[in-house]
Chain A
Amino acid sequence: MKEEVNDRTFFGFWVYLMTDLLMFGGLFAAFAVLRTNSFGGVTEKDIYNLPYVLLESVLLLTSSFTAGLAILSSTKGNVKAVIGLLFATFLLGVSFLGMELYEFSNLFKEGHTFQKSAFLSSYFTLVGTHGVHILVGLIWMIILFIYILKRGLTKSALRKLTLFSLFWHFLDIVWIFIFTIVYLMGVSL
């Protein structure tokens, strides 16, 4: 019975993740249509810093890797490894978000805010929504830390960890497309 419940929760969360992907799809569509509407202001080539973005990508990828290893350790009941790897994921996620916030604040300082043009609106919203999801993931990890430290690696904890790791892996998958379609394409168009 518990197996069935786990199965349903897992599948339900998967369906929710699909709806989240669809929401990103809508944002990608808006970005694709509005990316050239710079209204005389800065265009894509002017504001993208590719080496910077590559570093962000590596950080996020590594965090996806450590998250996967954390789940692996959880199945073996290794609390210390789980906490350690989850913490590594957390730090890498914080660094990613920090870099992104720094990039955004620099753009604001130079006057390139999301109010200036449709391109900037769609850029900040697409990348920013991904960032908000990362923030949610970070908060989720904190709650997981509290849960595991309080109750140990129970069946419930394993389920929650697995759901989190799915969420985090999909954030990296969305980032692949932001990296490619926003930054790489933007510089080449």
Chain B
Amino acid sequence: MINLHGTVKSYLIGFLLSIILSLIAYNLVLTHPISNISLIALIIIIAFVQLFVQLIFFIHLGQDSPPKWHLIFFISTFCAILAIVVGSIWIMSHLNYNMTPKQMNQYIKDQSGI
């Protein structure tokens, strides 16, 4: 991968796409046209698209000759981060649910529509 350098065009495309994606996400949050959950899901998807764009156009990931070690290690890191973040949120939200006093429990129940 050290010999992959792309072209001015590829960097320009990456740059413009990233700006556009950031502006779209920003606009969505400011105007808030859809419900909370869908909005958050959408901006996270947009973030991943921008991640993808920058990985391809700035970092040229996956464009070297096989075996594609950089890609393999990036994917495994990504999975590990998912396990860390999602795992923590899942575990801690359950712990908090079981640790808060009675009134908070009721409040949490109301909020999450149980």
* Interface majority SS (helix, strand, loop, mixed), chain A: helix
Q: Are A181 and B11 in touch, CB under 8 angstroms?
A: no
Alpha-carbon distance A185/B47, docked complex (angstroms):
11
Q: Are A11 and B70 in touch, CB under 8 angstroms?
A: yes
How many residues of A are counted as interface, with CB atoms below 8 angstroms from the partner's CB atoms? 46
Q: A58-B22, A61-B15, A72-B6 are in contact. Are A184 and B54 (CB under 8 A)?
A: no
CB neighbors of B among A136-189 (8 A)? 159, 162, 166, 169-170, 172-173, 176-177, 179-181, 184-185, 187-189
Which A residues lie within 8 Å of B11 (CB)? 65, 68-69, 72
Q: Does A75 contact B (CB under 8 A)?
A: yes
Which B residues lie within 8 Å of A62 (CB)? 15
Q: Are A180 and B47 in touch, CB under 8 angstroms?
A: yes
Q: Does B2 contact A (CB under 8 A)?
A: yes
Q: Are B36 and A22 in touch, CB under 8 angstroms?
A: no
Which A residues lie within 8 Å of B12 (CB)? 65
Which A residues lie within 8 Å of B69 (CB)? 11
> Hey, what's the 0/1 contact readout for B63-95 against A, CB within 8 Å counting as 1?
000000110011001001100110111001000
Q: Please name the residue on chain A nearest to B27 by beta carbon.
A: A54
Which A residues lie within 8 Å of B5 (CB)? 71-72, 75
Q: Does A25 contact B (CB under 8 A)?
A: yes
Chain A: residues with CB nearer than 8 A to chain B? 6-7, 10-11, 14-15, 18, 21-22, 25-26, 28-30, 32-33, 50, 54, 57-58, 61-62, 64-65, 68-69, 71-72, 75, 159, 162, 166, 169-170, 172-173, 176-177, 179-181, 184-185, 187-189
